[in-house]
Amino acid sequence: MKITREEVQHVAKLARLDLSEDDVDRMTGQLDSILSYVAKLDELDTQGVPVTTHTQNVVNAFREDEVRPSLDRDRSLQNGPDQNGEAFVVPRVIS
């Protein structure tokens, strides 16, 4: 096995996803077959090969540091599932 039920549960916790017992069973099987497949990368010797994280050689796309209008508060809040006209409302963080 490439991945265990416990590892799937741990990763789900990191990703902030609740999985039912059935979900964990199914995902463990599917992730196991996917991870077994991607293990074929181990056939390649990549020692000393640089990584590619981006295909274009753009380094630091700067703009002038000028004050300019941004999204106003009403529009920023318009999709908030819970908001009071001034801020997004969330469940109490510190009790």
Q: Which residues bind other proteins (CB under 8 A)?
A: 3, 7-8, 11-12, 14-19, 27, 30-31, 33-35, 37-38, 40-42, 44, 46, 49-56, 58, 61, 63, 71, 75-76, 78-82, 88, 90-93
Query: By C-beta, is 18 or 65 nearer to other proteins?
Result: 18
Contact (Cβ atoms closer than 8 angstroms) between residue 36 and residue 2: yes
Token pair in block for residue 20: 């039912």
Closest CB 58 distance from other proteins, rounded Å: 6
Count of beta carbons in the 10 Å neighbourhood of residue 64: 5
Name every residue whose Cβ is closer than 8 Å to that of residue 5 and which is 6 or more positions away in sequence.
24, 25, 28
Q: Minimal distance in Å, beta carbon 8 to other proteins? A: 7
